[in-house]
Amino acid sequence: MDPLLAGSLAIAVMLLLIALGLPIAISMALVSFAGMYLAVGLDFALGAFRNLPYSMSTQFAFVAIPMFMLMGAFAFVGGVTTELYTFAYRLLSRFRGSLYYATIVAAAGFAAVSGSSVVSASVFTRISLPEMIRFKFNRGIGAGCIAASGTFAAMIPPSITMVVYGIITGESIGALLIAGVLPGLLTVLVYVVGLQIMLRFRPDWAPPTTDRFSWAQKLDSFKKVWAVSLLAAIVIGGIYSGIMPPSAAGTLGAAGALVICILRRKMSRGDFWKSLRETGESSAALFLIMIGGLLLSRMLLAVGFVDEVTKLVQAANLSPTEFILFVILIYVVLGMFIDALSMLIMTIPFIYPAVKALAMDPIWFGILVVKLVEIAVITPPVGLNLYAVLSASGGSVKTHELLKGIVPFIVFEFITLVILWQFPAISTYLPKLMLG
Amino acid sequence: MSIWGTLEAWLHRVSQFGVDLSAVCLALMMVIGTADVLGIAFLSAPVPSATEASEVLLAMAIFLPLMYVQRTHKHIAVDQLLQRLPFPARWTAEAFALLAGLLVLGVIAWQAGVLTVSSWSVREYANAEITFPLYPVKAIVAFGAAAATLEYLRQLILHFVRPHHSPTKPNA
């Protein structure tokens, strides 16, 4: 069979199986096995299933994933989110829309110690949404702000999404993590400026708050966040300076978060084991998807699909602009229906060869993809962060309010995406400095 | 208690044991990794074989909870279409999903078993400063995948025995 047809057929079958409710990891692995068996033979397929899962799960570089998860879990147990929010709110309380800004700044701060956007969204719903409701802020915009701010965790290091992209593509995980710093800060800036502009036209979305804080109170709240800020600085700085690989930085970050929790007496033995167990479960589910993704890559390579795509892209004389528009279209459509991280894992095996064929910077492309993943988690109907906010709000926000409220933030995300697309240096400057 | 009930209780314990052991592996990874970083930074003395130990702990931490993940339906799936299907079609799709999972995890477990046997036959050891055998690790990986396969089998049997009990609901 023609390799292009075989590969396309395999991808179509995989999407059909996913649509029929098969777990994404199982769909990818099943199609990979069938593809390898039909194209190369049973021995090859069994060999891939024998070696790939074990070799993938024994890579030191991948230790970063559970350790970044654990760091976030410990930071959550330690009440870091509340402290960050209190600090940000006290600092910004005099501005109109202060509760929105506080949520954005605190979520960005939490993103520096946690790689999970869903955790961020659900936690900030519990902390900041009641305050927004108390001050009669627009519920939809407030809930949208929380859901969208949660996505910072995918861009700002330590980002699990970046590590996954690095694993699937083989790009430097350290460089990818560092590449997310400036785009993450840019996203925060776009949100803040965008909200300011919106509030000029719709001041009723954010009535002035009556809370005012003295400098002593602001300083007091800062005292509670300095330790975690230092920990985030050590982890990110360690990766940037090359002193620590991301995996080592992850273990140090997790241990540091644990020590902070213990010193503050906020970690019971039960919390400790619960965090570890949940990290184990999440890691197992994620790694099974990654194993599926790598098997899919191996199958597409074995059937000759990757070579054919590369040739096709070169023959079609596709410009990078056309290609990126095509990728945006794929991700926006798939992102509406498929979990964002799974979407990344199942699409990169056939998109990445084209990136290489077009001689695009893979780190910059990774940032664009992560931005699209961020958009996917807030795009209905399968926007995980939207569900996280709805479920954590306990019914105080209606689905239609959130779906309306998320729209401005999707627009902000697309504005940021265009800026990142047009100015690749924002993504590549720090990695180039880092790699010398 | 019936044989099925005893089996259920036993499988439940095995899945819990897998998650608990995974938690221990993660805790060890954190301790070893941190000691290694601090040892290098302050004493210029890394923990011997820390990298190799972390690698094998990672494999165990990933594979051991697979049974529990399937038992609690934490695998990521897209079920919007599935929920809209009429009962017979949904039942068939769910049965196919369980069968596919059984096959995939079964092949992974079988091949991990093959890997364990070949590792055992050559007495494979880690190429590290402090050396340790690799076949127990591979055996644990095979065990984790085999336990998950058993869970798929359990759910598949239940799916046929209790056709109106949806496997997409937890603890089916």
Is residue B148 in some structural domain? yes
Is residue A116 in some structural domain? yes
pLDDT at A270: 93
pLDDT at A314: 75
Query: CB B78 to CB A248 under 8 A?
Result: no
Window from A119-123, A357-361, B149-153 with minimum mean pLDDT:
A119-123
Token pair 């997790």 in the structure block, residue: A254
Query: CB A24 to CB B77 under 8 A?
Result: yes
Is residue A55 in some structural domain? no
Q: Count of CB contacts below 8 A, A vs B?
A: 191
pLDDT tens digits for range A138-185: 999 999 999 999 899 889 988 889 998 998 898 999 999 999 999 999
Q: Report the alpha-carbon distance of residue B128 to residue A412 in Å, rounded.
A: 50
Is residue B167 in some structural domain? no
The first and second tokens of residue A82, run together, are 């509340």
Q: Report the alpha-carbon distance of residue B2 to residue A425 in Å, rounded.
A: 67
Q: Report the alpha-carbon distance of residue B26 to residue B21 in Å, rounded.
A: 9
Residue A81 structural domain: 60-267+303-435
pLDDT at A45: 96
pLDDT tens digits for range A67-118: 988 988 898 888 888 888 888 888 888 888 999 999 999 999 888 887 777 7
Mutation for testing the A interface, residue in B111, B159, B169 having most A CBs under 10 Å: B111
Is residue A409 in some structural domain? yes
Query: CB A280 to CB B55 under 8 A?
Result: no
CA A70 to chain B, closest CA, distance in angstroms equals 9
Query: CB B75 to CB A285 under 8 A?
Result: yes
Q: Are A114 and A76 in contact (CB under 8 A)?
A: yes
CA B134 to chain A, closest CA, distance in angstroms equals 11
Measured between beta carbons, which residues in chain B are less than 8 angstroms from residue A50? 111-112, 114-115
> Pick the residue with more confidence: A49 or B164?
A49
pLDDT grade for B70, boundaries at 50, 70 and 90: very high
Measured between beta carbons, which residues in chain A are less than 8 angstroms from residue B54? 60, 63, 247, 251
Is residue B154 in some structural domain? yes
CA B130 to chain A, closest CA, distance in angstroms equals 17
State how many domains chain A has.
1
Res. A356: pLDDT tops 80: yes
Instruction: Closest CB to B34: pick one of A255, A282, A287.
Output: A255
Half-sphere exposure of A302 (CA within 13 A, CB side): 24
pLDDT tens digits for range A197-213: 999 999 999 988 777 88
Is residue B51 in some structural domain? yes
Helix axes A64-77, A117-134, angle to 10 degrees: 20
Instruction: Closest CB to B104: pick one of A29, A58, A285.
Output: A29
Residue ranges of alpha helices (H) inside A40-159 are: 42-57, 64-77, 80-92, 98-111, 117-134, 139-149, 152-155
Q: Report the alpha-carbon distance of residue A13 to residue A334 in Å, rounded.
A: 15
Instruction: Closest CB to A23: pick one of B19, B64, B75.
Output: B75
| Residues of chain A above pLDDT 70, percent | 99
pLDDT tens digits for range A265-288: 888 999 999 999 999 998 998 899
Q: Are A280 and B23 in contact (CB under 8 A)?
A: yes
Q: Which residue of A has its CA nearest to B90?
A: A20
Is residue A233 in some structural domain? yes
Res. A136: pLDDT tops 80: yes
Of A189, A124, A121, the residue nearest A150 (C-alpha): A121
State how many domains chain B has.
1
- The mean of the pLDDT values for chain A is 89
Res. A237: pLDDT tops 80: yes
What is the phi/psi pair of residue B169, to 5°? -95, 140
Q: Are A253 and A231 in contact (CB under 8 A)?
A: yes
Is residue A272 in some structural domain? no
Label residue A4 exposed, middle or buried (CB < 10 Å: 0-12, 13-18, 19+). middle
pLDDT at A266: 86
Is residue B170 in some structural domain? no
Query: CB A280 to CB B115 under 8 A?
Result: no
Judged by DSSP in three states, B109 sits in helix
Q: Are A381 and A337 in contact (CB under 8 A)?
A: yes
Measured between beta carbons, which residues in chain B are less than 8 angstroms from residue A33? 104, 107
Judged by DSSP in three states, B163 sits in coil
Q: Which residue of B has its CA nearest to A341?
A: B76
Of A239, A243, A110, the residue nearest A174 (C-alpha): A239
Measured between beta carbons, which residues in chain A are less than 8 angstroms from residue B104? 26, 29-30, 33
Q: Report the alpha-carbon distance of residue A109 to residue A103 in Å, rounded.
A: 10
Full DSSP string of A300-362? HHHTTHHHHHHHHHHHHT--HHHHHHHHHHHHHHHHTTS-HHHHHHHHHHHHHHHHHHTT--H
CA angle A325, A330, A333 (to 5 degrees): 120
- Can you tell me the mean pLDDT for B59-73? 94
Query: CB A248 to CB B26 under 8 A?
Result: no
Residue B114 structural domain: 3-161
What is the phi/psi pair of residue B133, to 5°? -70, 145
Is residue A360 in some structural domain? yes
Measured between beta carbons, which residues in chain A are less than 8 angstroms from residue B93? 20-21
pLDDT grade for B170, boundaries at 50, 70 and 90: very low
Query: CB B94 to CB A21 under 8 A?
Result: yes
CA angle A360, A365, A368 (to 5 degrees): 145
Query: CB A251 to CB B29 under 8 A?
Result: yes
Q: Are A230 and A222 in contact (CB under 8 A)?
A: no
Q: Are A283 and B61 in contact (CB under 8 A)?
A: yes
CA angle A311, A312, A314 (to 5 degrees): 65
Instruction: Closest CB to B30: pick one of A27, A254, A289.
Output: A254
pLDDT grade for B75, boundaries at 50, 70 and 90: confident
Mutation for testing the A interface, residue in B47, B49, B78 having most A CBs under 10 Å: B78
First to last CA, chain A: 46
Query: CB B115 to CB A54 under 8 A?
Result: yes
What is the identity of the amino acid at A13?
A: V
Measured between beta carbons, which residues in chain A are less than 8 angstroms from residue B23? 273, 276-277, 279-280
